[in-house]
Amino acid sequence: MTRYSSTNDTAESDLQKEYMEKAAVYVDRLADTLGRRPQCCVKTFGCQMNARDSEKLMGILTQIGYQPVDKEEDADFVIYNTCTVRDNANQRVYGRLGFLNSLKKGKPHMKIALCGCMMQEESVIDKIRTSYRFVDLIFGTHNIFKFAQLLVTMFENREMIVDIWQETDQIVEQLPVSRKYPYKSGVNIMFGCDNFCSYCIVPYVRGRERSRDPKEIVREIEALVDDGVVEVMLLGQNVNSYGRNLDAPMSFAQLLGEVEQIDGLRRIRFMTSHPKDLSDELIDVMKRSDKICRHLHLPLQSGSDRILQAMNRRYTKAQYLALADKIKNAMPDIALTTDIIVGFPGETPADVDETIDVVRRVQFDNAFTFIYSRRTGTPAAAMSGQVSEEVVHEGFDRLLKAVQDTAKERASLLQGQILDALVEEVNEQDASLMTGRLSNNMLVHFPADPSMIGRIVPISLDICHGFYYTGHMTTQKDG
């Protein structure tokens, strides 16, 4: 489904709509040549913000006449929306490009575009220019709103089009969006990051923090609710610092208060939070809210003060533990999840022990554990003490076991309870079951009809399977 969201740059969005009309002419000509409507495929690598960007790309493509397909081999136009947080994400893209080259040799009219964070790296652009000259269009994170204009340029030229901006202060959101789900949606509230963690490439490829006007955010969510959305995910690299650069500064907690007032909106989620910026005001707003989901993603990265300092995280182990205690005391039913990196330069087994200690004391409901990925251009890439692969994997395995043990224990505590779940989709393994998501972000599978998708229903959590539940719908309420 395609609809328009609001913006603070109407002139630019109007210009892009003119380019959409021009691009539609080229797509119609291609349709005449092919004897059918051209098909497009957008593949997303990376985070929720990338996924939201892909919905914008698909919105414009469908607006100008393309039909979406899931597989690259069925498409006449393929776009890879890339991530560069870890090196393996880059390698996946390079690997897929070889596949696209073989497809294009059989379909000379085929177009290939690359965008996203990976494209903001100069070394990547150099490599693509040299080794992947069949790519038609390359653009980055800052000028995605000019996609329609770039399409017209691509259609009118035979050579590779490369348009990379190093920064921008523009936020243009009044463009078509083709949502993946009719009942839930991501909503960008800010862009960029000012934290400059020493291992992270994001501030260099996404730019400095820019917050959207709160009135525009509220209007966009109101339009989404009118279109059937019951749950929104507020998106930003560090939502806790939202609003600091607005002409009239407001806190993230205050924004949540405004969003809560929207009639018809049932659930509010957000990510990601930085521990150093999570305020008592936010905890209080969450505690009092009936709409904000009982789930908080709070990246730890390491439990070692020495490593945290080298990472430039700007909090200590004790401060993180105190914050986790404060959150859990205010909301005993909260699910806390986290991100953890193993193998940061200089890390020792004793540092990993410190991290495992935090996992056991906080009792995370889940944790995403990553092996450190050296990213050229970040301070950590130049640090001495790069950890050997053998030591990294030993620490990673120990950490993973601690995470799994505590997560299973936390999950088992819900057995026998009746909790509301948003029915999201038909179960991938068993078509007689639906998959729903609890407020705490845990999945539950239960017998139901696909007509229930998009509804919030009470579910009895009958059997815990470690990280998910099976259960059944009930009319009872959890007492």
Beta carbons of 323 and 275 less than 8 angstroms apart: yes
CA 326 from centroid of its chain's CA atoms: 27
In this structure, what are the phi and psi dihedrals at residue 425, rounded to the nearest 5 degrees? -170, 165
* Same-domain pairing of 323 and 276: no
Q: What are phi and psi of 314, to 5 degrees?
A: 65, 35
Give the pLDDT of residue 479.
38
- Beta-carbon neighbour count of residue 165 at 10 Å? 15
> Are 349 and 309 found together in one domain?
yes
* Beta carbons of 209 and 191 less than 8 angstroms apart: yes
The alpha-helical segments, DSSP class H, found in 290-437 are 305-311, 317-330, 349-362, 389-412
As beta bridge partners, residue 339 has 368
Q: Which of 412, 427, 459 is at the close of a domain?
A: 412
Alpha carbons 182 and 471: distance in angstroms, whole number:
24
Burial 189-198 (b: 16+ CB within 10 A, else e): bbbbbebebb
Of 163, 195, 217, which marks where a domain is finished? Answer: 163
Residue-wise burial string across 375-399, b where 16 or more C-beta atoms lie within 10 A, e elsewhere = beebebeeeeebbeeeebeebbebb
Distance CA 386, CA 401 (A): 24
Instruction: Let me know the angle formed at the C-alpha of 106 by 101 and 112, rounded to the nearest 5 degrees.
Output: 40
Residue span of the structural domain in which 246 resides: 181-293
Tell me the residue type at 57.
Answer: L
CATH number of the domain enclosing 192: 3.30.750.210
Check residue 390 and give its pLDDT: 95
pLDDT value at position 179? 85
The answer to whether the CB of 194 falls within 8 A of the CB of 208 is yes
Taking only Cα atoms into account, the Rg of the chain, rounded to an integer number of angstroms, comes to 23
Q: How many domains does the structure of the chain reveal? A: 4
> In this structure, are 61 and 133 located in the same domain?
yes
**Which residues are 366's β-sheet partners?**
337
Same domain, 365 and 422: no
Question: Are 350 and 222 in a shared domain?
Answer: no
Task: Tell me, yes or no, whether 150 lies in a domain.
Answer: yes
Supply the pLDDT for residue 180.
86
- Per residue in 424-463, pLDDT (tens digit) is 999 999 999 999 999 999 999 999 999 999 999 999 999 9
pLDDT digits (tens, 9 = 90+) for 204-252: 888 889 899 999 999 999 999 999 999 999 999 899 999 998 989 999 9
Q: What angle do CA 189, 192, 195 make, to 5 degrees?
A: 115
> Are 191 and 223 within one domain?
yes
Q: Can you give the CATH number for the domain in which 465 is found? A: 2.40.50
Same domain, 155 and 197: no
Say if residue 190 is in the same domain as residue 94: no
CATH code where residue 325 lies: 3.30.750.200
Q: Are residues 367 and 346 in the same domain?
A: yes
Q: Do 212 and 247 sit in the same domain of this protein?
A: yes
pLDDT value of residue 47: 81
Question: What is the pLDDT, as a whole number, of residue 204?
Answer: 85
Divide the 479 residues of the chain into consecutive groups of 10 and give the mean pLDDT of each group: 44 89 96 96 87 92 96 96 84 92 93 93 92 94 91 94 82 78 93 91 86 94 96 94 91 97 97 94 96 97 98 97 98 97 97 98 96 91 93 97 96 96 94 96 96 96 94 74
Do 405 and 432 reside in the same domain of the chain? no
Dihedral sign computed on CA atoms, order 254, 257, 263, 268: positive
Bridge partner list, 233: 186, 269
pLDDT for the residue 284 = 97
**DSSP-derived pairing of the beta strands 231-235 and 184-188:** parallel
- Report the C-alpha gap between 454 and 465 in whole angstroms: 24
For residues 38 and 5, what is the distance between their CA atoms, to the nearest angstrom? Answer: 26
């919030």: which residue's tokens?
456
In a domain, 479, yes or no: no
Given 412, 442, 460, the domain boundary residue is 412
Closest CA to 311 of 199, 451, 194: 199
Looking at the domain assignment, is residue 218 inside a domain?
yes
